[in-house]
Structures are given as C-alpha cells and as structure tokens.
Structure 1
Amino acid sequence: MKAFIVLVALALAAPAFGRTLDRCSLAREMSDLGVPRDQLARWACIAEHESSYRTGVVGPENYNGSNDYGIFQINNYYWCQPANGRFSYNECALSCNALLTDDITNSVRCAQKILSQQGWSAWSTWHFCDGSLPSINDCF
C-alpha cells in the first residue's frame, strides 16, 4: 500500500518537473508562436546549451545571488520576479515560475525581449551558437 501511495504522489508531482523538448519540437513550437524561422536554429542551440531543452530547470546560484530559469535560463535579477520576493527589475513583467511551465510562451516572449535589448550575446553559451549552424528545415 505504501508503494502505491508513493507512486501516486510521484505521478501527481511529475508535471512540476517540466518537460524536455528536442531541437525540432522546440523549433516548431517557437515557429507557431511567430518566431522568425531564420532565428530558430540559434534558439535551439541556446536551449540545448542552457537547459538541455528542459523547461523546468532552475540554474545554480550565480555570483550575485541570482538564478536562471527555464529552457533559456532567464535571469531573475533582470527579467522575472522570483517567488522569494527578492528584488528584480522584472523587465518581462512575470513570475520566474511562469518560465518553468510546459507552455513555453512566456519563456519565448521574454527571451525575444532579451534578444531585442541585448542581442544574442546576452546568453553566456552564445559562443557555441555563433556562426554556421545546421539547418532547422528538416524539422518542418
């Protein structure tokens, strides 16, 4: 009986861990959200290197005490409001927990805002994604 209760508890908690996409599923979802197709290979590369395509990832604490959230590892000091009430500029006007859900809409919108303000180099993993990348066309 205890094993059954543990299994039920794990099954109910599983959605809290987020989901793992792959290169093509991310590209298709981002395309559906209106992201230009010529950016999709770069976004896929960033997601691969930042979170291994996982939506529920909270990165380890950074040097300044901040954390990074979600598939694109968006920083809570500048872009989202952490649940602990810590100061944030919250430029994307959303809770950091909104970046951890299976629905990547908030993550995509916030990442696009970061891109428009800071460029691709806002992501520390950008050096992996700068230059020629494999075509994303095979995903469509």
Structure 2
Amino acid sequence: MDRCSLAREMSNLGVPRDQLSKWTCIAEHESSYRTGVVGPENYNGSNDYGIFQINNYYWCQPANGRFSYNECALSCNALLTDDITNSVRCAQKIQRQQGWSAWSTWKYCNGALPSIDGCF
C-alpha cells in the first residue's frame, strides 16, 4: 500500500477527506503503509498491530489470550490483513476518544501536510 491507495481506500470507507492527509501521515510513520506489521514489545509488554500500529493492551485481543481491554472488540489479527476496514474503524475510535496525539508519531503529522487531492 502507498499514500494514495490508502487515501482512496479510507475515502471509500467514509473517512472525511479533510482527515486523509493526517491518517496517511500516521500510517507512513507507524508502519510504512504495511498492514501485516506487529511492532516490537512496548515497555509494558504490549504490542502494536497493523497499518496504524494499534495497541493490544487497550484496543484489540491478542491471540495469546493475554488480558486486553479490547475496546474495539476484535482480534488483533484482524488488524493485520490487507482489508483495512477493521483497522480504520478501530483507529477512528481511538482518534475520537484520545485525539490525534494517541499516536506517538503525531509529532511528524501535526502541521502542514502535502495535499491528498492528487490521489483522486
């Protein structure tokens, strides 16, 4: 996946166009647009999953049965597929609850970003 294919797919899933530059920036810095990535273990033993690197302690249920609040009510493995519907829905929930700064990479995306319009 690349910036434009992600933007188009997110737009097709109903994500507002004025948010697409932010989401694509986060995906670039979190996973390099890769859907199948599981991040290294965090300080608390948790891991981050998928294109938006969603944390398994709060947002999804890891396959190993480890405790999770599982706020998005889905398996972490559901965030590792090329169908990004689950990742987008869960990321939107995180953004609604915690804002853009929920992603540590937000510091790279909080400001003027290149227009996404050329992708459409």
TM range (shorter): over 0.9
* 1:35-114 matches, cutoff 5 A: 35-114=15-94
Q: TM-score, normalised by structure 1?
A: 0.86
Runs of 4+ in 1 over 4 A off after TM superposition: none
Q: Report how far residue 137 of structure 1 moved.
A: 0.2
Shift of 1:126: 0.3
The alignment's TM-score, normalised by the length of structure 2, stands at: 1.00
Partner residue of 1:33? 13
Q: Report percent identity of matched pairs.
A: 89
* C-alpha distance in 2 between matches for 1:104 and 1:57: 13
C-alpha RMSD over aligned residues: 0.2
User: Structure 1 unaligned runs (5+)?
Assistant: 1-20
Partner-residue secondary structure (3-state), 1:94: coil
CA distance in structure 1 between the partners assigned to 2:34 and 2:88 by the alignment: 13
- Distance in 1 of aligned mates of 2:39 and 2:87: 15
Number of positions where the alignment pairs a residue of Structure 1 with one of Structure 2:
120
Which structure: larger Rg?
1
Report the secondary structure of 1:59's partner residue.
Answer: coil
Return the structure number with greater helix share: 1
TM-superposed deviation, 1:112: 0.1
Task: Give 1:95 shift.
Answer: 0.1
Gaps of 5+ in 2: none
